[in-house]
A = this chain, B = another copy of it.
Amino acid sequence: MTLSEEDYIKTIYHLSDFNSKSVATNAIAEQMKTKPSSVTDMVKKLSEKSLVNYKKYQGVSLSEKGRLVALSIIRKHRLWEVFLVDKLNFSWDEVHVVAEQLEHIKSDTLIDKLDAHLGYPKVDPHGDPIPNKDGVFTKSVKKLISELPVGSQGVCVGVNDSSAAFLKFLDKNKIALGDTFKILEIEEFDGSVTISTRSGSISISKQIATNLFLEIVDEE
């Protein structure tokens, strides 16, 4: 597998919503910052290798083989992210770009030994689950703050938007993975939400509420 093929497979996986549903050529092109005609060429090639299911004008979906390739790349990406944060003291908003490169290093031994060295982590620094060698991972029952009713309580376990800008914003506002939040009030007018934290209660905008995942502890 070439680096480029791997990037296409990963993009198709993410756009198909972990659901192996059909993805549009234009969507892939936009995500990969390339042209639709280039996507068509590559999709044909991936189809030849039976990594994707493809019929002209019908969109593309990952085959089971392709899904396993995607999960193996995602496993590597997330393990490297854990390494960068836990061992090299990167902050969680810096690791993604470096992991984009490291995920393409080819060595099964390397990734096994890295996994062991990190103590077999289950999630990456953004709260996303790390698949095992066979592509199996536990999809946690997490919900966006914006989807929860007043009174819900849970542990912050992930972000929807993992851009450096958003992650920096969270750091500045002392919101971190592992924090426990309770929904105190939802403002109908603008969708902003008041939540309680250890250090008191704060109000977060609707935009923030739609980008933070809680793992529900208690739903009164």
What secondary structure prevails in chain A residues at the interface with B?
helix
Identical chains in the assembly? 2
In the assembled complex, A101 has its CB within 8 A of some CB on chain B: yes
Residues of B within 8 A of A105 (CB): 98, 101-102, 105
Closest chain B residue to A102 by CB distance? Answer: B105
Q: Shortest beta-carbon distance, A82 to chain B, in Å?
A: 14
Q: Is A90 an interface residue (CB 8 A)?
A: yes
With a cutoff of 8 Å between Cβ atoms, the chain B residues found around residue A107 in the complex are 97-98, 101
- The size of the chain A interface, using a CB distance under 8 A, is 18
Interface flag for A88 (CB, 8 Å): yes
Give the interface of A toward B (CB within 8 A): 84, 87-90, 94, 97-98, 101-102, 105-107, 109-110, 113-114, 117
Can you identify 15 A-B contacts, CB atoms within 8 angstroms? A87-B87, A88-B110, A88-B114, A88-B117, A89-B113, A90-B109, A90-B113, A94-B109, A97-B107, A98-B105, A98-B107, A98-B109, A98-B110, A101-B107, A102-B105
